[in-house]
């Protein structure tokens, strides 16, 4: 039985800004792109959230919902340094640390000798160290696997700790709404609800075979999650599977030539990025991403060797899928080989 801790910093970028400038603590604050340049909100503090401001929201909409919102561009170098300090705290307790982002990580403390082997006490100490040394708050979840630990950390946000012991797993998961499971968005949840499936308990009434037959890959995932099962190990050294670049356009475009002009400027940047990971001939595929004015999106991806000119065909197919919708964002992506296939070359693209 594993002992997994999930640490999730509270409104991380905004929290760092409030720590460094206390005058921002009581005002609605967001980090993101300019509202007059089609920027989006990266994160916001809890004061702003009371106005309905959320991450990934267009900055212009955020300003309409919250006119007094203080919008800052962010200081990524500072956030990266704080993230490095966070990791140093984590490593005091275990070498098995899997960062998910600058402000979030899994820790496997199954064999850690600290705190008498108590994962709960370790999580409490980590949160205390973050508060004392960095002046920030973190929420933590403790559970027998990664899936449950992440759910647990959401239970007491912000600045809380929640523990799911093995004996409580079944009851905790039973009443869990399916929409709370990682990987299930609003549309997928609506699809499940249209079939009369609202909670994990509802899905348990179906056999594994029926779930897979009716929902495909989604059903395969559900067969384990609805019982609280997750065998994924904490990966201290995660292998990056893809490299991408993208840009939000200053105004929507419809014309294929205009889109290609944008992609042509992105291709050299993409090639510089993947060149740090592996030779072009070892790439596993390439694709383009289009986000429309209504914020729906599509990705056209093809396996095979890399050819820059192939992006033109992928763009043409993507625009056919768009069916005349204006394009607000364009992106490129390539698939990287496994670590073994590139002879353990570094994937550090910073």
Cα 225 from Cα 137, distance rounded (Å):
29
> Per-residue pLDDT tens for 277-330?
778 888 889 999 999 888 788 999 999 889 999 999 999 999 999 888 999 999
CATH tag, 242-342: 3.30.1490.100
pLDDT of residue 162: 98
Which residues, in sequence order, are CB contacts of 177 under 8 Å at separation 6+?
Answer: 189, 198, 199
Question: What's phi and psi for 244, nearest 5 deg?
Answer: -145, 165
Q: Is the pLDDT of residue 37 over 80?
A: no
Q: What is the pTM of this model?
A: 0.76
CATH class of the domain defined by 174-225: mainly alpha
- Active site residue: 81, 95, 98, 104, which one? 104
pLDDT, the chain, mean? 90
Backbone Cα Rg of the chain: 22
The two three-digit tokens of residue 190, written as one number: 């609506």
Q: For residue 237, is pLDDT > 50?
A: yes
Q: What percent of the chain has pLDDT over 70?
A: 95
Return d(Cα 56, Cα 32) in angstroms, integer: 9
Residue pair 39/32 in contact by the 8 Å Cβ criterion: yes
Query: Is residue 346 over pLDDT 70?
Result: no
Q: What is the mean pLDDT of residues 59-63?
A: 92
For 322, the 3-state DSSP assignment is helix
> Which contacts of 131-135 are long-range, i.e. CB under 8 A and separated by 24 or more positions?
133/85, 133/89, 134/19, 134/82, 134/85, 134/86, 135/19
For the cut 70, the answer to whether the pLDDT of residue 342 exceeds it is no
Residue 344 has pLDDT above 80, yes or no: no
pLDDT at 184 over 80: yes
Q: Is the pLDDT of residue 4 over 90?
A: yes
Annotated binding residue 103: yes
- For domain 4-9+77-169, the CATH superfamily is Reverse transcriptase/Diguanylate cyclase domain (3.30.70.270)
Architecture of domain 13-76: 3-Layer(aba) Sandwich (3.40)
pLDDT, tens digit (0-9, with 9 covering 90-100), for 122-137: 999 999 999 999 999 9
Residue 305 has a pLDDT of 86
Residue 294, annotated ligand binder? no
Q: How far apart are CA 246 and CA 233, in angstroms?
A: 31
**Per-residue confidence (pLDDT) for residue 35, from 0 to 100:** 67
- The CA angle 198-203-204, to the nearest 5 degrees, is 135
Residue 35's φ and ψ, nearest 5 degrees, are -70, -20
Q: Where are the domains of the chain?
A: 4-9+77-169, 13-76, 174-225, 242-342
Does residue 340 surpass a pLDDT of 50? no
Q: For residue range 129-173, what is the model confidence (pLDDT) as tens digits? A: 999 999 999 999 999 999 999 999 999 999 999 999 999 999 999
73-104 tens-digit pLDDT: 999 999 999 999 999 999 999 999 999 989 99
In this predicted structure, which of 33-47, 140-154, 243-257 has the lowest mean pLDDT? 33-47
Structure tokens at 79: 């956030």
Q: Is the pLDDT of residue 183 over 70?
A: yes
Higher per-residue confidence, 269 vs 280: 269
Q: Is 81 a catalytic residue?
A: no
Distance in angstroms between the alpha carbons of the first and the last residue of the chain = 36
């Amino acid at each position: 039985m594993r002992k997994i801790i999930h640490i999730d910093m509270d409104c991380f970028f905004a929290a760092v800004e409030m720590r460094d400038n206390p005058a921002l603590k009581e005002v609605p604050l967001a980090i993101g792109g300019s509202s007059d340049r089609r920027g989006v909100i990266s994160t916001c503090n809890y004061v702003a959230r009371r106005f309905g401001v959320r991450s990934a929201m267009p900055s212009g909409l955020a300003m309409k919902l919250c006119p007094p919102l203080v919008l800052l561009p962010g200081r990524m170098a500072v956030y990266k340094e704080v993230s490095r300090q966070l990791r140093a705290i984590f490593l005091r307790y275990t070498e098995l640390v899997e960062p998910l982002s600058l402000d979030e990580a899994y820790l496997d403390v199954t064999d850690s000798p600290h705190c008498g082997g108590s994962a709960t006490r370790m999580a409490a100490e980590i949160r205390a160290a973050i508060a004392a040394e960095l002046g920030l708050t973190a929420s933590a979840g403790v559970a027998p696997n990664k899936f449950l630990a992440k759910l647990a950390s959401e239970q007491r946000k912000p600045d809380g700790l929640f523990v799911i012991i093995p004996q409580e797993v079944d009851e905790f998961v039973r009443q869990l709404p399916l929409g709370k499971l990682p990987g299930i968005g609003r549309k997928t949840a609506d699809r499940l609800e249209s079939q009369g499936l609202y909670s994990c308990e509802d899905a348990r009434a179906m056999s594994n075979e029926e779930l897979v037959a009716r929902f495909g890959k989604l059903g395969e995932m559900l067969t384990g999650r609805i019982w609280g099962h997750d065998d994924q190990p904490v990966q201290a050294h995660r292998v990056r599977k893809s490299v991408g670049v993208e840009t939000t356009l200053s105004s929507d475009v419809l014309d294929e030539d205009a889109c290609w002009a944008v992609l042509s400027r992105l291709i050299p940047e993409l090639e510089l990025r993947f060149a740090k990971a592996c030779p072009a001939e070892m790439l596993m595929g390439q694709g383009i991403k289009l986000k429309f004015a209504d914020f729906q999106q599509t990705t056209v991806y093809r396996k095979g060797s890399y050819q820059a000119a192939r992006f033109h065909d992928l763009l043409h197919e993507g625009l056919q899928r768009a069916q005349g919708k204006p394009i607000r964002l364009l992106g490129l992506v390539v698939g990287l080989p496994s670590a073994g296939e590139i002879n353990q070359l570094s994937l550090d693209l910073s």
